[in-house]
A = this chain, B = another copy of it.
């Protein structure tokens, strides 16, 4: 059988993983798709760099256009990353009728709709399972497994770096900065960790999951984002005492076709399936109207898990190629986008306040919550041996984001409050 020829953009750790799987599992893969799979050309930054794997020198180029323009190549696997330039390569490859497999969450979150529109125009496949939660086939699950259901809620631990940091802080009582430094030394965090720790990476993945789950075009700017750099070990200790774990959760919710989507450090009830997901692992919890609670767990990053998803997409593209149906199963969001207003977004809140240690303070503070109709689940006032202030810990019942914003603005003006130390969303 004539081999299917693949062009690879990028030969970093993930690209190397793709070559390893395609070569190592060649017999299995060709049994499934009905012909051999050949990695025909590979674009790299530096052709001289020593590699962990043997690749034919003639296959290597430092010009991605050599790969894009090669008429022999049917499928482009993009694992070089980047946004503007990479988008240009992918659009041109589609223009030439080549199918795309990509792990590029940044590109898909920012330009997914443009790329998918071009793919539809040219009847090409664009698959991107590896862009969210590495080895977990969550994109397939949302598109196919739950095609029949209305997705009510998606909660994701979709960033391994921050989950590693929060898990370590929780398990060892360590500080954010110490664990971040350790994560950087272990290669779990970048030297500039901003995109991970400030929640941007997670937000991009949640925009992709929201688009698929709610079948509407969720954009990155629809995601409200805050990161973990302000989470202290004291916050985590408070969470534990109340029966919660602290996780950076992406939360997407939909009700009557209106949705909200956010990423923030969240206190999640111990015992919830996602609360025990630790270390660099990822998990996506999906609540469907009919199916109820489900969760999908696995490695969110790493060369081989990510390459597993990429090569599974490659198998799907090649099967479609054999059947002549590429581009015909493209999922195009068909629902009009309706974002919830802050009045319609409800959740519980945790607050830690440092206040004057004198009579009447608690009454003044709880009065503010009452004024905006936010009811309280629990209130604890305690002395802090290392601080002349008293501490007040408040957990609210479900309250609208709009009401809580008003409460927070009002609290900021109360003279008896020295500091609003922490404010977190609470789930479960």
Chain A interface residues (CB < 8 Å from chain B): 17, 20-21, 25, 28-29, 31-32, 129, 135-137, 140-141, 144-150, 215, 273, 276, 281, 288, 290-299, 302, 304-305, 307-312, 314-316, 319, 323, 325, 328-329, 334
Known: A21-B290, A294-B297, A325-B323. A312 touches B147 (CB 8 A): yes
Which residue of the partner chain B has the closest CB to A276? B276
Most chain B C-beta atoms within 10 Å of own C-beta, residue among A21, A140, A147, A310:
A147
B298 touches A149 (CB 8 A): no
A308 touches B334 (CB 8 A): no
B316 touches A291 (CB 8 A): no
A292 touches B305 (CB 8 A): yes
Q: How far is the CA of A21 from the CA of B148 in the complex (A)?
A: 7
B135 touches A292 (CB 8 A): yes
Most chain B C-beta atoms within 10 Å of own C-beta, residue among A31, A281, A312, A328:
A312
- Closest Cβ of chain B: how far from A8's Cβ, in Å? 15
Most chain B C-beta atoms within 10 Å of own C-beta, residue among A136, A144, A307:
A144
Since A129-B145, A146-B312 are in contact, a sample of 15 more A-B pairs with Cβ atoms closer than 8 Å, ordered by chain A residue number, is: A21-B148, A25-B148, A144-B312, A144-B316, A147-B311, A148-B311, A148-B315, A273-B297, A291-B308, A293-B298, A294-B297, A294-B298, A319-B329, A323-B325, A323-B328
Most chain B C-beta atoms within 10 Å of own C-beta, residue among A141, A215, A299:
A141
- Closest Cβ of chain B: how far from A53's Cβ, in Å? 14
| 14 A-B residue pairs with CB within 8 Å | A28-B215, A137-B140, A140-B145, A141-B145, A147-B315, A149-B308, A149-B312, A281-B293, A291-B299, A291-B304, A291-B305, A293-B298, A293-B299, A325-B325
B329 touches A150 (CB 8 A): no
- Closest Cβ of chain B: how far from A118's Cβ, in Å? 21
Copies, count: 2
- Closest Cβ of chain B: how far from A147's Cβ, in Å? 4
B150 touches A146 (CB 8 A): no
A137 touches B148 (CB 8 A): no
| A215: chain B residues within 8 A (beta carbon) | 28, 31
Instruction: Name the one of B291, B298, B328 contacting A295, with C-beta atoms under 8 angstroms.
Output: B298
The 7 closest A-B pairs by CB, nearest first: A137-B145, A148-B311, A294-B298, A135-B291, A291-B308, A290-B304, A295-B297
A296 touches B299 (CB 8 A): no
A323 touches B312 (CB 8 A): no
| A129: chain B residues within 8 A (beta carbon) | 145
B296 touches A291 (CB 8 A): no
Which residue of the partner chain B has the closest CB to A22? B148
| A308: chain B residues within 8 A (beta carbon) | 146, 148-149, 288, 290-291
Instruction: Name the one of B137, B288, B328 contacting A141, with C-beta atoms under 8 angstroms.
Output: B137
Instruction: Name the one of B31, B292, B297 contacting A304, with C-beta atoms under 8 angstroms.
Output: B292
| A281: chain B residues within 8 A (beta carbon) | 293
